[in-house]
Amino acid sequence: MIIKIYLEKSEEGGYTVTVPSLPGCISEGNTKEEAIKNIKEAIELYLESD
User: What string of pLDDT tens digits covers the 50 residues of the chain?
Assistant: 899 999 999 999 999 999 999 999 999 999 999 999 999 999 999 999 86
Amino acid sitting at position 47: L
Query: Which pLDDT score, from 0 to 100, does residue 50 have?
Result: 63
Q: Which one, of 26, 25, 4, lies nearest residue 15 by Cα?
A: 26
What pLDDT was estimated at residue 1? Answer: 84
Q: Give the dihedral sign, CA 19/17/1/49.
A: negative
Closest CA to 31 of 21, 46, 16: 16
Give residue 41's identity as a one-letter amino acid code: E
The pLDDT of residue 49 is 80
Measure Cα distances from 27 to 18, 46 in Å.
7, 12
Domain ranges, ordered by start, for the chain: 6-48
